[in-house]
Amino acid sequence: MFNIETLRSKSVTELTKILKDLGVKVARNSNDNDKIFAVLDFQASNPKVAKDYFNATETSMNTEEQPAEKPAKAPVKKAAPKRQPAKPKAEVKAPVEETPKTVEKAEEKAPAAEDIKAEQPKPETAAAPEENNLSQAKKKRKRVTANTGNTENPQERAEAPKNAEPQESAPSEERPNTPPSQARSQQKGNNNPQNSGNQHKNPNQNQHQNQNPNQNQHKQHAEKAEEHHNEHRKEFNFDGMVSIEGVLEILPDNYGFLRSSDFSYISSPDDVYVSTAQIRNFGLKTGDTVKGIVRLPKEGEKYFSLLKPTEVNGRDLAFIKDRVAFEYLTPLFPEEKFNLAGNESTLSTRIVDLFAPIGKGQRAMIVAQPKTGKTMLLKDIANSIAANHPEVYMMVLLIDERPEEVTDMERSVNAEVIASTFDEAADKHVKVANLVLAKAQRMVECGHDVVILLDSITRLARAYNTVTPASGKVLSGGVDANALHKPKRFFGAARKIEGGGSLTIIATALIDTGSKMDEVIFEEFKGTGNMELQLDRKIANRRIYPAIDLVSSSTRRDDLLLDEVTSQRMWILRKYLSEMNPVEAMEFVNKNIRGTLNNEEFLMSMNK
């Protein structure tokens, strides 16, 4: 049986082979002690299997280690007289004439003669007198065998674990190291009435076994070399070397995946599996931006697995467990204004910064007719926010838009662009929008300022209307009554949080498209925002950009965003522009603002 000292004396390759033969499974990165105790545990639970395996392997190993000692032992057992080896005929006749008592001795001597013949090959020229002498010598050995057979059994039993020679292990039935296969073959041979004939064949078989160890050694050396080569290849452990960042999506089965932003947060080969225990222990939610260490997939696994998260939403793991849910945070009016007239400002952003300022936590809606420049205006606002407020995390969500606009937005805006083009299914539109909103809410819970630019909320509402099961309550235009709940929840998530953090949503809404559904959707969202910027097709037709209707565009509680002096000057300017139509007002402001460097200079020039 195996013991701890024997196992510790073995190499890593031998331990691996023993574990593989016994069918014991251990971890890939386990050390030598783990493998040794795994073998001992298997031996304790399956003693018979371990014993049979030990006897088979240790006996064969001892046999291979001592192939050169057999020729030296054979002459000692044979006898003193020296003579040439006899013909094979004499060997055939001798066992047939012997009684069953002397069979064992004949089997021991016959291989010895064969070994001598192998060492000293000579031509077979034995004469008849030599055959008679050989038979007389064998008769003498018969008497010695009969007298000493019983006394040699204890010695043979004592020497069996040490030597374990093939020619001695074949006939012995009482030795504990004999493999079960040999014992069964012996029992079959002893039950056979032609016992002498079967036993006569054993020496030749044992002789072949004596010749095989050299071949077996070469095979084993080759196998050991391959195992050693494979072992060196398996030593490479990449666990803990690769780090990844993704957005967590928890499935109904309570496990989740980290989705990649390169694939717009949908299923992809880059997904990383997150177990239920990790989600529960670290308090993770859908939408959490998790950064952690991953491991390679094991056999039968398809995805990479998260070993341990190191950072969630830019915060440590201790903070994540104690955070307050987004629904229970206190919303406030926006108090801090985005500076759209600073670096990388354009004429469009300067006008927006004056007439409809945007603050952190603003719920802004850009109401536009087709071909009025709403996408270009959205792009200018995004670049201005990115240049002047690097602390803000900005996402551009394009729903049901043209693919070429997605590419242009990715190349011209310094922000994360998540898109689902119009050739995609409505299910994808809804899934991407929900995951983007969840990500923004989780970041706000951790105190970050987030900006989402949505183009457009009308098409998002159309996608929700397609996906939502029919309730039977249909509004005019074919809009289901329950379909507008989720887009309202998306748009209503924008807020300024007391104590830090804000979520700003700037969405575009389409009007005058000829679709009754678009009119119903816009009417439902009309009073929900706290900032509205209207674009006029008449102004755009005269190639005046931005085509903003200055009189109709405004921000609720803009006094919290503008200083007192600017508020008074804007009140005077609005009063002056209210007497003009939208085209004249835009032409007047556009003409005067071009000649000034900033908005302060423009307001001062209006006093003159």
The per-residue DSSP string of 66-89 comes to -SSSHHHHHHHHH-S---PPPPHH
- Residue closest to 561 by CA, chosen among 332, 330, 338, 393: 338
Residue at 122: amino acid letter: K
Q: DSSP readout, 295-362?
A: E---TT--SEEEEEEEEETTB-HHHHHTPPPGGGSPEE---SB---SSTT--HHHHHHHHHS--BTT-
List Cα–Cα distances, 254 to 244, 285, 324, in angstroms: 21, 10, 21
Q: Decide if 477 is inside a domain.
A: yes
Rounded to whole angstroms, the Cα distance separating 47 from 420 reads: 63
Residue 313, SS3? coil
Considering the domain architecture, whether residues 410 and 300 belong to the same structural domain is answered as: no
Q: Decide if 420 is inside a domain.
A: yes
Considering the domain architecture, whether residues 452 and 548 belong to the same structural domain is answered as: yes
pLDDT at 318: 87
Residues 6+ apart with CB under 8 A from 395: 415, 416, 417, 418, 436, 439, 440, 450, 451, 452, 453
From 323, 356, 380, the end of a domain falls on 323
Residues 6+ apart with CB under 8 A from 286: 248, 249, 250, 256, 435, 438
Rounded to whole angstroms, the Cα distance separating 602 from 561 reads: 18
Q: Decide if 512 is inside a domain.
A: yes
From 290, 323, 356, the end of a domain falls on 323
pLDDT at 210: 47
Considering the domain architecture, whether residues 489 and 382 belong to the same structural domain is answered as: yes
Listed as ranges, residues in the chain with pLDDT below 70 are 59-219, 225-240, 608
Question: Is 382 in contact with 395 (CB distance < 8 Å)?
Answer: no
What token pair was written down for 489?
């929840």
pLDDT at 162: 44
Considering the domain architecture, whether residues 316 and 336 belong to the same structural domain is answered as: no
Rounded to whole angstroms, the Cα distance separating 248 from 256 reads: 7
Considering the domain architecture, whether residues 313 and 337 belong to the same structural domain is answered as: no
How many Å from the N-terminal Cα to the C-terminal Cα in the chain?
A: 106
Considering the domain architecture, whether residues 515 and 392 belong to the same structural domain is answered as: yes
Considering the domain architecture, whether residues 516 and 438 belong to the same structural domain is answered as: yes
Considering the domain architecture, whether residues 418 and 290 belong to the same structural domain is answered as: no
pLDDT at 539: 93
The CB density around residue 363, as the number of other CB atoms within 10 Å, is: 23
Q: Decide if 214 is inside a domain.
A: no
Considering the domain architecture, whether residues 270 and 359 belong to the same structural domain is answered as: no
State the residue range of the domain holding 318.
243-323
Considering the domain architecture, whether residues 284 and 344 belong to the same structural domain is answered as: no
Element (H, E) at 503: strand 502-510
Q: Decide if 121 is inside a domain.
A: no
- Residue closest to 213 by CA, chosen among 60, 17, 54: 60
Total domains in the fold of the chain: 3
Rounded to whole angstroms, the Cα distance separating 135 from 137 reads: 5
CATH of the domain at 349: 3.40.50.300
Place of tokens 């079967």: 198
pLDDT at 130: 46
Residues 6+ apart with CB under 8 A from 228: 13
Considering the domain architecture, whether residues 314 and 338 belong to the same structural domain is answered as: no
CATH of the domain at 314: 2.40.50.140
The predicted model scores a pTM of 0.62
Rounded to whole angstroms, the Cα distance separating 483 from 470 reads: 9
Put residue 469 in one of left, alpha, beta given phi > 0 → left and psi -120 to 50 → alpha. beta
From 303, 323, 343, the end of a domain falls on 323
Q: Decide if 217 is inside a domain.
A: no
Handedness of CA 429, 430, 434, 435 (dihedral sign): negative
pLDDT at 227: 66
Question: Is 450 in contact with 393 (CB distance < 8 Å)?
Answer: yes
pLDDT at 110: 42
Considering the domain architecture, whether residues 559 and 595 belong to the same structural domain is answered as: yes
Rounded to whole angstroms, the Cα distance separating 179 from 159 reads: 16
- Residue closest to 558 by CA, chosen among 304, 294, 353, 329: 353
Rounded to whole angstroms, the Cα distance separating 272 from 387 reads: 33
Rounded to whole angstroms, the Cα distance separating 359 from 494 reads: 11
pLDDT at 269: 87
Element (H, E) at 534: strand 531-534
Place of tokens 């971890």: 27
Q: Decide if 124 is inside a domain.
A: no
pLDDT at 212: 53
Per-residue pLDDT of 188-200, as tens digits, reads 444 444 444 444 4
Rounded to whole angstroms, the Cα distance separating 424 from 429 reads: 8
Place of tokens 């008497």: 143
pLDDT at 332: 94
Q: Decide if 305 is inside a domain.
A: yes
